[in-house]
Chains A and B, each alone.
Chain A
Amino acid sequence: MLLELRDVSKRFGGLHAVTGLSMTVAPRTIHGLIGPNGAGKSTVFNLLTGVLPLSSGEIVFKGARVSGLRPSEICRRGIARTFQATTLFRESTVLDNVLLALQLHAATAFVSTLLGTAAYRDRERSARARARALLASLRLLDLADERAGNLPHRDQKALCLAMVLATAAELVILDEPLAGLTAQESTDTMAVLRTLRAEGKTILLVEHDMRAVMGLCDVITVLDHGVLIAEGTPRDIQANPVVIEAYLGAEESRA
């Protein structure tokens, strides 16, 4: 298993956001995490990436414990994420955003940078080439010199994805990658995600578009009130009475 959560809990004061969650993510899969609003999905992402500390339990990635590490260290171990709201360095150019993501985790050698040594210049050149290739693969190359904050929503989403890929993380965590996209844009993004899986990436995502989740995911984990209520293939999940109950119940209470 690539990722393993062992009895993970998170409390905010008296609120139990996640309770005793144990789940695994297999390599080279697209794994969906779903559940009604407030089920604890975003909290799980924040725990996985070290943005929030666990109350108890542990998280193991590639056989090594990552819970308790700083977010930057977790990223270097190979877990990278996007945020629910499109989160970019808005004042920087599109190319700089990707360069940042490419280099932020790289060792920064102070003296060679200062002296502008040949090694430094080589590294910069190859980073730019990789950044451009990534932008091209997501059809963003024409926008390379635009300020990221000026892009339309769809391209900002794509840029977020480009940045996560730039970190070379094996496990890519996506918080609502399809939110706010048109049907065509969703289809395009889903194709990109399938390509990534074929290239060896593992994807863990939260998404509200159920048709997309069912069509895209290999495995789905369902949370409700911070507790795992079901896990399985899309077909299993769709037929699971507990899941239907949770969603319908949520619908009723929302109405």
Chain B
Amino acid sequence: MSVTTEQLADVATLARLKLAPEHSQSLTHAFNEILSLVDQLQALELESVKPMAHPRDENQRLRQDLVTESNAREAFQAIAPDAQEGLYVVPPVIE
């Protein structure tokens, strides 16, 4: 499989990235090279194989549903680009 520059721009929109026009050609080329590297997987017959999500094939450990962390809102918001009165500030979403 391969993608066009336009298709890659659509993927970029999904990832909230914008491709610089001067780089989009070379990026599409590099992207397609990576696709050709991974395309050999398409040919494998893996119908009966169970997907592996955990590298030791274990289940995620669960914990009690208890509060273990205290509220650290001030510390976390102190490093925000823009926070006021306990809220993160962004451009208006609803006019």
Q: Do A and B come from one complex?
A: no
Query: A residues engaging B (CB < 8 A)?
Result: none
